[in-house]
Amino acid sequence: MTPNQPGQIHRLPIAGVKNLIAVGSGKGGVGKTTIAVNLAVALASLGYKTGLMDADVYGPNVPLMMGINRTPMAFGERIQPLEQYGVRLMSMGFLNPGDKPLVWRGPMLHSVIQQFLRGVDWGDLDYLIIDLPPGTGDVQLSLIQTAPITGAIVVTTPSDVSLEDARKAVSMFRQVRVPVLGIVENMSYLDCPHCHQRVDVFSYGGGRRTADEMQVPFLAELPLDPQVRIGGDTGSPIALRKGEGEPFLELARSTVERTADAARQEGPEIEIGE
Ligand SMILES: Nc1ncnc2c1ncn2[C@@H]1O[C@H](COP(=O)(O)OP(=O)(O)OP(=O)(O)O)[C@@H](O)[C@H]1O
Ligand SMILES: [Mg+2]
């Protein structure tokens, strides 16, 4: 699939949804879902009406990390999102519970993503966060070319392999004219619980450097913290906790600011339904 030319992009708005934010990365396993989940919970706790759409159709991790897995109800043609911690949710995991992998090809994938975007009764939302699968392939392109995405967050670790792929992700969003709200460096450092020294497990500072090089904002550096992993595995995101959740609240506040900037710069009328 090649990106549409500017002016040919048809990104119809989703009724009631003010801002769509995609969380992506080049590399897998860098913490996209963790950040999407905690960002959504943090935005909801700041009082914003928030939804989270799991676009990782083959490896949906949102149900586990949000601690909920039920089959959603449908009224007529509209699927009702589930709700947990004040966040409205949709994930393939709710429709295909169990361990069987899905074996779908391009066109079906495309229609599932469209169904999640437009066939779910999201209601009025300030923010709909989209957790993308890893990479810069067809699923990502199909989604970001058809959804009216306000901005994208690119997640990376400080390691060179992750940064190399993060640059590709930034370029992909740029190619399809989705503003990059910023780079988040995850697993930035470890506060050693024994010697209380900072350990740069995956190197240091690469996220900020890459953001500078690519002229995109640097949004946050988040520590490698066993409590973040435990929060994910137990369906109780760390953003729910006072104190420990603060870095994610901070990320949510910066995301709100950057989104407002992006919306001002782009102007909704440029991309929608042209
Ligand atoms: N800051 C962190 N501290 C500790 N563990 C973390 C942190 N961020 C993510 N993890 C853990 O790392 C693992 C991978 O994270 P996650 O599933 O969010 O990555 P991902 O980028 O969404 O992966 P995929 O590409 O497979 O979708 C999970 O077990 C998660 O709990
Ligand atoms: Mg994921």
Please give the average per-residue pLDDT across 123-148, as a whole number: 90
Q: Which pLDDT score is estimated for 203?
A: 87
| CA gap 103, 1 in Å, rounded | 20
The string of pLDDT tens digits covering residues 158-206 is 999 999 999 999 999 999 899 999 999 999 999 988 999 999 988 889 9
Q: Which pLDDT score is estimated for 10?
A: 61
The string of pLDDT tens digits covering residues 20-57 is 999 999 899 999 999 999 999 999 999 999 999 999 98
Which atom belonging to ligand 1 lies closest to the Cα atom of 227?
4
DSSP element (H, E) containing 113: helix 106-118
| CA gap 234, 51 in Å, rounded | 20
Q: Which pLDDT score is estimated for 193?
A: 87
Residues in the ligand 1 pocket, defined by CB under 6 Å: 25, 28-34, 56, 59, 61, 133-134, 186-187, 222, 224-225, 228-229, 232
Please give the average per-residue pLDDT across 206-211, as a whole number: 94
Instruction: State the pTM of this model.
Output: 0.92
Transcribe 160-187 into DSSP letters.
HHHHHHHHHHHHHHHHTT--EEEEEEES
134 CA to middle of ligand 1, Å?
Answer: 12
Strands 180-186 and 151-156 turn out to be: parallel
As a whole number of Å, the end-to-end CA separation of the chain is 20
| CA gap 42, 249 in Å, rounded | 5
Among 33, 34, 157, say which to mutate for ligand 1: greatest number of ligand atoms within 8 Å of CB: 34
The string of pLDDT tens digits covering residues 86-112 is 999 999 999 876 666 666 666 677 788
